[in-house]
Structure 1
Amino acid sequence: MLHVDLKDSFHLRITRELGDFPEHSFDACLFVPGELALTPEVLEERVFYQQGIQIHRTYQSTATLEPLVRSRLIRRMNREKGRPDPQYRLSMSLYGFQYVTAMEQAVHKILQGDKQDLRGELGELIELSSTILGRLRRNRPEDGTLALYFTNIDNYVSWLTEQQFLKLAAELEFQENELDLKELLMRIARRESKYRDDLEYNSARVSQDSIRMSNKMRLLRRLLEHPVSMRRVGIELGEREQKLLRAGVTAVVMSCVSFLVLRTRDALGDITAIFLLVLALLYAVRELFREDLQKKLWNWLRKGRPKWRYQFIDVNSEQTVGTALEWFDYKKFEDLPEHIRSARHSSTQQREETVIRFRSYSKMLPARFLSGYAGTRETITFDMSLLQPLMNQSTYPLYKLQDGQVEREDVERRYVFNLVTCERVGGKKESIQRWKVTMNYSRIISVEPSDT
């Protein structure tokens, strides 16, 4: 399961539900309009990869709203009233993270759905949310350190619940007979806000400043996700090969130059001005061809081979739970696989596009996963702000007839990017999707699936 959405003004977010399958392959091609004139000379591949792509992999339960660790966690928290469990923080993070991700998925599903049974879907969401939060808050620890950790998790979970219900109230289109649902959503949001105020989770200075509140909640989200996130440790492949290639090319070029120097010495006899001039010319040619030869041979040797290798490490057990190989290249349309070209629907104009291709292949070891979690979830973020300097900030005039008069309207310049994704999980059939990303100089305007 894969979906693409907008994380913020300049970041595309690709979310992949990998399940409990041990092998996964992923291919994403971003088609950049030719008018931006993107080339490796303008923005190097390595720079784009390191600055423009962020990958985050976490544990993920297959349950939608009920955490798999719920019953085990409740029993553990009950025992901790008398004797704190050293695994308390992990249990709290598992519980909170499962609730948060489930709430976000459920809200996204409701907003994207057909809304034929809106009352039933919202009713189920509200009931499950209330039940899970009630069970979480029923077992508040008394110990100072554990109480502080509980406060941080409960603070974020409450704020997230408020934000998600307000999002539903703001973005859903309610019929006249459904306005009570909108009022109910806002009432729950007010209740969560009052809950945090009564417990003094946030100072008045933070509560009254949206920026401070947002920054604090972002830090609490990182605290929540840390125990269920996998540390990603990687190396760049081919460094030794590159050194050996550089040494080999230098040896060959120097041998040729030395041979030519000796032949020149034999031909000219004594060291003269002409000999020195020929010698300088030979060394200049050596410097000119050595770098070009190294570059061409290196590109030939590394063509189609992965550029980075990563390990996924469980932050709790420090065990390696998976590995991944990754590719990143600028491609021409003609060099893409047939199924990618077919999904893009090639035309003459589209063949002028620059294609940014990211690929990954990973193997996971589900037997080493955290107890209660058999699957993983991967989030890939593309930073489109790296392409902003290539865009035109100006507007252009558009004329139209209105009531017999000619009117002029200044229209902003927009750029349409196409994103084609190809995913294979386990032995399943490849899933190919295309997304249309509309962007101007200031922000990403929309992200929507496309079939045309």
Structure 2
Amino acid sequence: MSKINIKQEEALSIKFSHLMGIGEQRRLDLYFFLPKEMGIGVNTLNEEEYYHSAIVGRRSYFSDGLHLPLVQSRFASLNRRTVEEFRLYLNLFAYQFAVAVETDGKALEQLTETASFYQALDELREQVSVLLRKFRRNEPGDPKWKSYFENADNYLSWFCEQRLLKLLAHAPRSSEFAEISDAVLQLCRAEHNYREEERRYNSVQTKQDPNRISNKMLLLRRLIQQGVVLKEELKPLGVGLKKFTTGLATGLVMLVVSALIIKAQGVFSGLTIALVLSLAVIYGFREIFKDDVRNALWRFIQRGRPRWSRILRDTNSQAVIARQLVWLEFMRPQKIPKAVAEILKQRHSQNKLDVEILHYGISTKVTQNEFQAGYSSMQEQVSFSLVPFARYLERGKAKIYKEVEGRISNESVERRYQINLIVMLREAKGEPQFARYKITMNRSAIVDISESDLPGHISAIDGSGDAK
């Protein structure tokens, strides 16, 4: 796996993922260059609101390969293994299995070519079938372990069936690939029969109520995440500094107001209507400009500082696994690193438009503590929704006309925008590495994500790619 992977996740979202081992330090910076014609900037997009509503992260343990085929051999001796250890290994496999199916399913949804879609669907069906068989061959006999296995088995069977049915429901219609569709349906029917008739995992009342079965599966999902997904403690930074800024801004405004009041008292002798009106105007202007002065002062002080800190803990031991600092801000072009500016100069002349620069940075320091047994690294996945960007875009209303043998026809065309994304990766005290992507989007979807070449003297991120 490359150091960082960036790919399209849904119609209007992108996701980056990377792995980190014990004791590693990494700084990752993403610079989104948004054309000003998109209408996105400080006045239209609040960074803090965007962070909480449109940036979703998931941090968990990760181990190369799917480990369940090894579970039986690893736990052959009951005297040397505990129930908790078995549960950790089981959860790791079940969680990675579910995430893999989820990721591959989203990638399939982006395929528009019928042949490619059905070929990928058939491959996914085969992989799901093989992994489920391997999973069930390692069912434990000890009652202490059996309940954990049954929870994971119930969820994986239901989840795989739901993902495959969803893909079929939105699949392009083609009688040419009816055999593949039938094979997928047979697997779904077999899983349904396995859960409901053979194993009787769910009660009649639960099966008959879609709400109950959905909520039960959400609970089972949380159970298999136990010990795998890290507990996050997010804390906003600069709370005290912000209070100080508010006080300072209020003091500066009051200083000006007090000077104006003294001046007005000197102009108007005694308490007159003119003096009262002047004071009303002065206090009115104070209310108008107070927030503007405070926000401008806070933005100046906050510039370049991290906005949040995050502690990642093991959900079982509560041990600290990693600490993170997070940045999110609009930047001035003069403040971006020189290497980033040089990469941006590679744009074609027609793409050299005025831009707003949105910077997302995350610095991670993984502790030296050993991970839970069976885990080799930590995986971080962060999704960025571009829906807040799209809401300001214009709908395509233009038409292209053409003439063929005296007949004039027209086609509607969509308005597209191109976002340049430059990624900067620095590990410990090493030299930074870079990657550049072009994101083409319209109001309803991301049309394409492609990786661009870098100048010869700029170091590229090792193995960067997967911009799909």
Shorter-chain-normalised TM-score: which range? Answer: 0.7 to 0.9
SS in 2 for 1:310: strand
Partner of 1:307: 307
Q: Does 1:28 align with 2:30?
A: yes
1:122-148 deviations in Å (ceiling 9; x for gaps): 99x9899948953653324463x8544
The answer to whether the 8 Å contact 2:35/2:353 transfers is no
Give, in angstroms, the shift of residue 102 of structure 1: 7.0
SS in 2 for 1:318: coil
Partner of 1:194: 190
Partner of 1:293: 293
Q: Does 1:321 align with 2:317?
A: no
Partner of 2:392: 390
> Please, which of 92, 95, 98 is the counterpart of residue 94 of structure 1?
92
1:400-429 deviations in Å (ceiling 9; x for gaps): 344664432222333332322222233554
The answer to whether the 8 Å contact 2:154/2:195 transfers is no
TM-score normalized with structure 1 length: 0.76
The answer to whether the 8 Å contact 1:420/1:434 transfers is yes
Letter of the structure 2 residue corresponding to residue 194 of structure 1: A
- Range that drifts further, 12-21 or 251-260: 251-260
Give, in angstroms, the shift of residue 211 of structure 1: 12
Task: Summarize the alignment of residues 355-434 of structure 1 with structure 2, pairs less than 5 Å apart.
Answer: 355-402=357-404, 405-434=407-436
Give, in angstroms, the shift of residue 14 of structure 1: 1.1
The structure-2 alpha-carbon separation of the partners of 1:136 and 1:74, relative to structure 1 and needing over 3 Å to count, comes to farther
SS in 2 for 1:228: coil
SS in 2 for 1:79: coil
Letter of the structure 2 residue corresponding to residue 242 of structure 1: K
Distance in 2 between residues matched to 1:129 and 1:37, nearest whole Å = 48
Letter of the structure 2 residue corresponding to residue 96 of structure 1: A
Distance in 1 between residues matched to 2:99 and 2:131, nearest whole Å = 16
Distance in 2 between residues matched to 1:11 and 1:212, nearest whole Å = 30
The answer to whether the 8 Å contact 1:73/1:91 transfers is no
Distance in 1 between residues matched to 2:127 and 2:350, nearest whole Å = 54
SS in 2 for 1:323: strand
Partner of 1:338: 338
Give unmatched runs, 5+ long, in structure 2. 108-121, 172-176, 455-468
Letter of the structure 1 residue corresponding to residue 33 of structure 2: F
The structure-2 alpha-carbon separation of the partners of 1:422 and 1:215, relative to structure 1 and needing over 3 Å to count, comes to farther
Give, in angstroms, the shift of residue 399 of structure 1: 2.2
Q: Among all aligned residue pairs of Structure 1 and Structure 2, give the percentage whose two residues are the same amino acid.
A: 26
Distance in 1 between residues matched to 2:250 and 2:226, nearest whole Å = 48
- Range that drifts further, 391-400 or 358-367: 391-400
Partner of 2:174: none
Letter of the structure 2 residue corresponding to residue 13 of structure 1: K
- Range that drifts further, 419-428 or 126-135: 126-135
Partner of 2:52: 50
- Range that drifts further, 152-161 or 202-211: 202-211
Distance in 2 between residues matched to 1:238 and 1:44, nearest whole Å = 17
Give, in angstroms, the shift of residue 206 of structure 1: 10
The answer to whether the 8 Å contact 2:238/2:307 transfers is yes
Letter of the structure 2 residue corresponding to residue 197 of structure 1: N
The answer to whether the 8 Å contact 2:72/2:138 transfers is no
The answer to whether the 8 Å contact 2:234/2:309 transfers is yes
Partner of 2:464: none
The answer to whether the 8 Å contact 1:156/1:217 transfers is yes
The structure-2 alpha-carbon separation of the partners of 1:283 and 1:99, relative to structure 1 and needing over 3 Å to count, comes to closer
Distance in 2 between residues matched to 1:257 and 1:401, nearest whole Å = 69
The structure-2 alpha-carbon separation of the partners of 1:230 and 1:73, relative to structure 1 and needing over 3 Å to count, comes to farther
Distance in 1 between residues matched to 2:62 and 2:238, nearest whole Å = 33
Letter of the structure 1 residue corresponding to residue 280 of structure 2: A
The answer to whether the 8 Å contact 2:21/2:366 transfers is no
The answer to whether the 8 Å contact 2:324/2:362 transfers is yes
The answer to whether the 8 Å contact 1:31/1:355 transfers is yes
TM-score normalized with structure 2 length: 0.74
Letter of the structure 2 residue corresponding to residue 439 of structure 1: M
Letter of the structure 2 residue corresponding to residue 152 of structure 1: N
The answer to whether the 8 Å contact 1:78/1:139 transfers is no
Distance in 2 between residues matched to 1:410 and 1:127, nearest whole Å = 41
Q: Does 1:85 align with 2:96?
A: no
Distance in 2 between residues matched to 1:50 and 1:295, nearest whole Å = 20
The structure-2 alpha-carbon separation of the partners of 1:28 and 1:451, relative to structure 1 and needing over 3 Å to count, comes to same
SS in 2 for 1:153: helix
Partner of 1:176: none
Give, in angstroms, the shift of residue 357 of structure 1: 1.4
Partner of 1:228: 228
The structure-2 alpha-carbon separation of the partners of 1:427 and 1:253, relative to structure 1 and needing over 3 Å to count, comes to closer
Distance in 2 between residues matched to 1:389 and 1:49, nearest whole Å = 17
SS in 1 for 2:343: helix
1:83-113 deviations in Å (ceiling 9; x for gaps): 982444323102323555678899999xxxx
Partner of 1:272: 272
The answer to whether the 8 Å contact 1:366/1:375 transfers is no
Partner of 2:457: none
Distance in 2 between residues matched to 1:135 and 1:340, nearest whole Å = 47
1:315-343 deviations in Å (ceiling 9; x for gaps): 11122221111111123444422222233
- Range that drifts further, 198-207 or 437-446: 198-207
Distance in 2 between residues matched to 1:160 and 1:366, nearest whole Å = 36
Distance in 2 between residues matched to 1:107 and 1:245, nearest whole Å = 48
Distance in 2 between residues matched to 1:444 and 1:209, nearest whole Å = 36
Partner of 1:441: 443
- Range that drifts further, 10-19 or 441-450: 441-450
> Please, which of 42, 66, 75 is the counterpart of residue 40 of structure 1?
42
Distance in 2 between residues matched to 1:449 and 1:203, nearest whole Å = 50
SS in 1 for 2:224: helix
